[in-house]
Amino acid sequence: MSFHGIIPPVVTLFDEAGNLDLELNRRYLDKLISQNIHGILLMGSSGEFSSLSIEERKLYVREMIKHIHGRVKVMVGVGHTALKEVLELTSYAEEQGADGVLVVSPYYWKLSDDQLYRFYSTVANHTELPVFIYNIPQLTGQNLPVELIVKLAKDYPNISGIKETVGDFGHIRQIITEVKKVRPDFLVFSAFDEHMLPALMIGAAGSINGSAVFAPEVSVDLYESYQRGDLAEARTNHQQISRLMDVYTYCPTFFTTMKEAVHQRWFETAAGHRVPFDVYPADLRENVRSLLKTIETKEGVQL
């Protein structure tokens, strides 16, 4: 079965010295999988890939794929400013058994549409894995045009889908409408939590959303209730998820907030951070504590 449903873009957990804590990350992934998620994204933006060296990224990906051991599908973020590194990370993910790669468009320089096409076609030609385009203009500085996505999807069968981290819901709608004319099997995933339900209603495959990192049961319940036609339950979950959007407002680096929420929910240790992300608002922990209290306790889940 292809990627679908709720795919948390997991945070990467460090010890108090800022080193990768592999065992804590294993325990964290087990917590998520126990809540019936449909897949996992390693090394996305929330996974803080930009804070890790290439060797650290390889170590983490290798150990986490080994630990997941096929229980859910695994997508691996391979973003980098250098195409050579993107290709190396893509090959490594494929060797380790990943089910797909998520490829953010190059950041720092603004690229032309022809340059973006060249970039993504090079990645697609380099691997047999499903390639997912990552559109996040907030961090890359440019929104990927619908026409570009249509051309890539039409020309490369293994460009399998897109993660749409955009504020403009109309762009998600256009992607779904236009790309599916040429590729009915193209998978569109929303990202911002409040987009999940409306995106599902117009044909999205699922969501790779921030609140699923620390409250996966809410997103899973929304997705599953929508799939079985229980719109009342889906609406209730949508309202709850919309309240969780505050997670993006507490700190400019939203993964810092998500990491704090993960630790408060499931672990007794303090969240570890790397410089300069060890500096954050003084009220972050209290804001997260208050946010977690807004989640209604699901059956078998204690906050």
CA 195 from centroid of its chain's CA atoms: 14
CA 171 from centroid of its chain's CA atoms: 18
The total of other beta-carbon atoms located within 10 Å of residue 176's CB is 19
Beta strands in 95-164 (DSSP E): 100-104, 131-135, 159-164
| Measured distance between the N- and C-terminal CA atoms of the chain, rounded to whole angstroms | 32
CA-CA distances (angstroms) from residue 263 to 24, 180, 217, 256, 298?
Answer: 10, 40, 16, 11, 19
Catalytic residues: 45, 108, 134, 163
Residue 112 CA to residue 148 CA, distance in Å, equals: 10
Which amino acid does the sequence have at 105? S
The total of other beta-carbon atoms located within 10 Å of residue 203's CB is 16
Residue 303 CA to residue 175 CA, distance in Å, equals: 37
Residue 202 CA to residue 175 CA, distance in Å, equals: 11
Nearest to 127 by CA among 152, 172, 105, 158: 158
Report the DSSP beta bridge partners of residue 132.
102, 161
Show Cβ contacts of residue 269 under 8 Å, excluding neighbours closer than 6 positions.
16, 24, 263
Residue 74 CA to residue 38 CA, distance in Å, equals: 9
For residue 41, report the phi and psi dihedrals to the nearest 5 degrees. Answer: -105, 115
